[in-house]
Amino acid sequence: MVDNIPALGLSLGQMAKACFRRAEPAKPQAPRHERQVGEGAGSPIGHMSLGAPARGKLPYYLRMTMPTTPMPSRASQGSLACVGLGMTLGSHLTPLARSHIMQADVVFAGLSDGIVEMWLQRMHPDVRSLQSYYREGKSRFTTYQQWVELMMTEVRAGKRVCGVFYGHPGIFAWSPHKVIEIARAEGYAAHMEPGISAEDCLYADLGIDPGRFGCQHFEASQLLLFERRIDPTGYLVLWQVGLVGDRSLARFQTGPAYRQVLVDLLSKDYPLDHEVIVYRAATLPIQKPRIRRVALRDLPSIELTAEETVVLPPAQRLKPNLAMQARLAALDEQENAGVPA
C-alpha cells in the first residue's frame, strides 16, 4: 500500500490533514431555517415539518421525499453524511464511507451489533450510539425522530456530522432519509453514501438473481395491512417478519398468532408446503449466514428474530403474455418490411 507521496514529501496522513483541516466551529447565529420557514423558535423537532404545509395537500405518493440538490454552503457551516457500514465487520465498509467517518467531528451510530459498534468506536473518538433511544413500549417513530433531532442539533452547531447505519443507510431506514431532507432544506450540505445491505447479502448467500423472475419486497406488516398484489411467479421477500402485525410500532417481537395471519394471507397464492427461506446475514466475519428452509405452514412455530428475512421462491411458472407477444411480433414484421415502427 502506498503510504506516502515522495514527490511532495508528505505522508497520506499529512495530506489528509492538509486537505481536510477542520473548519472552525460556526459562531452561534440565528437559525436560518427559522427565517426561511417563518416558524420561529421552537422545539427542534418542529423543524421536521419543513415544507409540510405545501406537501400536505398532495397524496403521499406524490410527495415522497426525493433528495433535492444541496444548496451551496460555506466551509464553516455544518454538514451531514449518512453512510452505510455494510453488514459484516471488516468486509463491507467502503473507503469513502470510512473517510466520512474519520473526517467527521461527531459520529452517530445506528448499528445492529454491539461488537460492530465497538469497532466503529476505534475509528473515531466521538461515536454516539443511538441504541439507547429504543425502548419497548415506545413508538419507534419517536425514536427515529429523536435520532434526526440529535444529528440536526450538531449540524446546526456547525459540526461535520456522520450518521453511520448498518447495511445501507437508505434501505429500511427512516432517519437517514429524513435528516438529509431536513438538512438540505435548511441549506446544509448533506448526502448519503450507499452501503452493502442485507438485501445484497441475501442475493449472494442464497444464489438469487432478482432479475431472473422478478422480485417483490414488502415489510411484512404492510403486506397484511394494505391490499397488495403478490406475484407468485417471482421471488417474494418479506422484511421484519419477526414483528409482523405490530400496529403500535412499539414492539420488537410478535407471537405465532400474528405470523399465522401472515401465513393465511400467503396461502392464497402459495401452497402450505411451499418451501420458504429464513435468512440472516453475517454481522461478524467469523459467522456464517443463517439460512433455514421450512414449509410455509411451519413459519408461525419457528423462532424468528427481527433481523431475519423470509424469502418465498416462485410458486408458479411465468405465464406468457400472448397479447403483448403478438403486438411485438407485428411490430417486428413492420420493421422487417422496412417501415420503422
Complex with other proteins: residue 49 or 325, whichever CB lies closer: 49
Q: How far is the CB of 114 from other proteins (least distance, A)?
A: 4
Nearest Cα residue to 101 out of 83, 115, 118, 117: 83
Pairing verdict, β 290-295 and 275-280: antiparallel
Mention every residue, 6+ apart, whose C-beta is less than 8 A from residue 74.
none
Tell me the C-alpha distance between 165 and 144, whole Å: 12
Tell me the C-alpha distance between 68 and 304, whole Å: 38
Complex with other proteins: residue 58 or 75, whichever CB lies closer: 58
| Site residues (vs other proteins, CB under 8 A) | 43-45, 49, 52, 59-61, 88-91, 106, 110-115, 117-119, 122, 128, 131-134, 138-142, 144-146, 149-150, 153, 165-166, 172-175, 218-219, 221-222, 225, 240, 243, 246-247, 249, 252, 284-288, 306-307
Mention every residue, 6+ apart, whose C-beta is less than 8 A from residue 17.
none
Q: How far is the CB of 181 from other proteins (least distance, A)?
A: 11
Helix (H, G, I), strand (E, B) or coil at 189: strand
How many CA atoms, within 13 angstroms, populate the side-chain half-sphere of residue 154? Answer: 23
Complex with other proteins: residue 4 or 222, whichever CB lies closer: 222
Active-site option among 160, 166, 188, 279: 166
Complex with other proteins: residue 153 or 260, whichever CB lies closer: 153
Give how far Cα 214 sits from Cα of 4, 63, 222, Å. Answer: 48, 27, 20
Q: How far is the CB of 245 from other proteins (least distance, A)?
A: 9
Active-site option among 144, 188, 235, 270: 144
Complex with other proteins: residue 58 or 318, whichever CB lies closer: 58
Give the angle subtended at the CA of 195 by the CAs of 189 and 196, to the nearest 5°: 170
Complex with other proteins: residue 287 or 321, whichever CB lies closer: 287
Nearest Cα residue to 280 out of 132, 114, 112, 134: 112
Complex with other proteins: residue 99 or 112, whichever CB lies closer: 112
The answer to whether 60 is a known catalytic residue is: no
Q: How far is the CB of 289 from other proteins (least distance, A)?
A: 12
Mention every residue, 6+ apart, whose C-beta is less than 8 A from residue 215.
208, 234, 235, 236, 237
Spatial contact of 22 and 104, defined as CB atoms under 8 Å apart: no
Residue that is written with C-alpha cell 411467479 in the block: 233
Q: How far is the CB of 232 from other proteins (least distance, A)?
A: 21
Q: How far is the CB of 90 from other proteins (least distance, A)?
A: 2
The answer to whether 166 is a known catalytic residue is: yes
If you count them, how many residues does the chain have? Answer: 341
Active-site option among 140, 156, 160, 259: 140
Q: How far is the CB of 146 from other proteins (least distance, A)?
A: 5
Q: Which helix (H) or strand (E) holds 12?
A: helix 12-19
The answer to whether 327 is a known catalytic residue is: no
Spatial contact of 213 and 314, defined as CB atoms under 8 Å apart: yes
Tell me the C-alpha distance between 166 and 41, whole Å: 34
According to DSSP, residue 270 is labeled S
- The set of catalytic residues is 140, 144, 166
